[in-house]
Amino acid sequence: MQGYVLPRAEHGISREDISDNALKVLYRLNNAGYQSYLVGGCVRDLMLGLKPKDFDVATNATPEQIKSLFRNCRLIGRRFRLAHIVFGREVIEVATFRGHHAEGEDDDGALLGKQDAHGQLVRDNVFGTIEEDAERRDFTFNAMYYNVADFTVTDFANGRDAIAKGEVALIGDPQNRYREDPVRMLRAARFAAKLNMRINPATAAPIPELAHLLANIPPARLFEETLKMFLSGKGVDTFRMLREYDLLTPLFPMLSDAIKDESSRECQFLIKVLENTDIRINSNQRVTPAFLYAALLWYPLEEHTNKLKAESGLSDHDAFNIASGEVLHRQIQRIMIPKRFSTVIRDIWLLQQRLPRRFGRRAYQTLSHPKFRAGYDFLLMRGQVEGGDTLELADWWTQFQYAEPGLQKTMLTNLRQTEGASKPPRRRRRKPKQAKGAE
């Protein structure tokens, strides 16, 4: 693969737009006699006039040689060894040029490359030249290399043409590339949404047929990928792209039927949540994956709760608790959800049961719950989609939480008069009479 070299005047990338820490890594590698380049998404984004989220470096130095140059370096990865050079909160990822994968062992007995029965690469410790590394990149616009030594960009796969056309295009045969790593299908959708591009027809064609291969990806890796897709500030566009190519079903099997129609209650709720998430991210506000996953699994939870009640005669409370555990268990078979998030998911769900119960001290107790705000926001978005009693309940809580204590008391009194009167009074249990002569 031959590269086209763009001089400084043709690409417009300035060192002022590059992280100081990335420049330190590039200069130190170069001064030690190694080749080093910025590569991948950071070069693509710089050429698009965007601010890269992170900076990746490719070099001909091996991971061990990289580690010997940087005291703040740690080596990670089994499928392919990488060096992470840590500068406080910023991590510069440095990868050795990859070569064409070949099964076997190196001179030290370490496994080089290995594929499974589906063609997926499960081990890939094969090093090569910059030309081979470019061929191994996934998309054409990710095979551009910026050289700080002479300020040139070498474009190996005509990535600048893909940028000009607004196309996401794979390098090589799409069938083979997706089989090597099925996550590339998710990345194609994510890049198209993020960059306001379309997926090249040849790149898009095999996706529906091969989407099932995502079931072979480790759940922990899919959790990281879903965060990149939905917490990028382009969550709604990504969701629609995933729906278009039938990529949501292998990720969230329980949503399969519910999201076929975008006008469905389930789809509208998820779009509402993702719209809110996009606004928060683009305003530099905090978001938590727990809220997103609580939304993605809410209607499957509701459906499963009703099924348990109908089949087993369980109470609302028991059916809901059992369904919560079972729905989460089913989902983590596909996408791992760390406990620190699954605990918050349960809190948000349980608050949907508590928020309608407002008599006596319950309203004040619910208001003081540590996750009240998340539970209330969740209810509010449900109300905006479902309307009816859910919206009325959300409006009541909107007023109650900001009301003065006197007004809160009046609201609770009015609530008891309007809703409580229709409920039969509780019968007090009588204490059993003591037998005569008992002490």
At residue 439 the predicted structure's pLDDT band, cuts being 50, 70 and 90, is very low
The helix or strand, by DSSP H or E, that contains position 153, with its residue range, turns out to be strand 152-155
pLDDT computed for residue 12 by the predictor: 87
pLDDT digits (tens, 9 = 90+) for 216-239: 999 999 999 999 999 999 999 999
pLDDT computed for residue 99 by the predictor: 87
pLDDT computed for residue 427 by the predictor: 54
pLDDT computed for residue 313 by the predictor: 86
Q: Which residues are catalytically annotated?
A: 54, 56, 138
pLDDT computed for residue 80 by the predictor: 78
At residue 434 the predicted structure's pLDDT band, cuts being 50, 70 and 90, is low
Other Cβ atoms less than 10 A from the Cβ of 302: the count is: 16
pLDDT digits (tens, 9 = 90+) for 271-311: 999 999 999 999 999 999 999 999 999 999 999 999 999 99
The pairing of beta strand 4-6 with beta strand 152-155: antiparallel
The helix or strand, by DSSP H or E, that contains position 26, with its residue range, turns out to be helix 20-31
Q: Show the domains of the chain with their CATH numbers.
A: 1-165 (3.30.460.10)
Query: Residue 33: beta bridge partners?
Result: none
pLDDT digits (tens, 9 = 90+) for 61-97: 999 999 999 999 999 987 678 999 999 999 999 999 9
What are the Cα distances from residue 419, in Å, to 1, 359, 386, 416, 422? 74, 10, 21, 5, 6
Instruction: Pull the structure tokens for residue 254.
Output: 């329980």
Q: Is 406 exposed, middle or buried (0-12, 13-18, 19+ CB in 10 A)?
A: exposed
Q: Provide φ and ψ at 282, rounded to 5°.
A: -75, -10
pLDDT digits (tens, 9 = 90+) for 241-254: 999 999 999 999 99
DSSP assignment of 355-388 equals: TT--TTTHHHHHHTSTTHHHHHHHHHHHHHHH-H
What are the Cα distances from residue 170, in Å, to 140, 194, 243? 6, 16, 20
The alpha-helical segments, DSSP class H, found in 387-432 are 388-402, 405-418
Average pLDDT over residues 345-362: 95
The helix or strand, by DSSP H or E, that contains position 45, with its residue range, turns out to be helix 41-47
Torsion of CA 18, 22, 28, 31, to 10 degrees: -30
Q: Does residue 438 carry a pLDDT above 50?
A: no
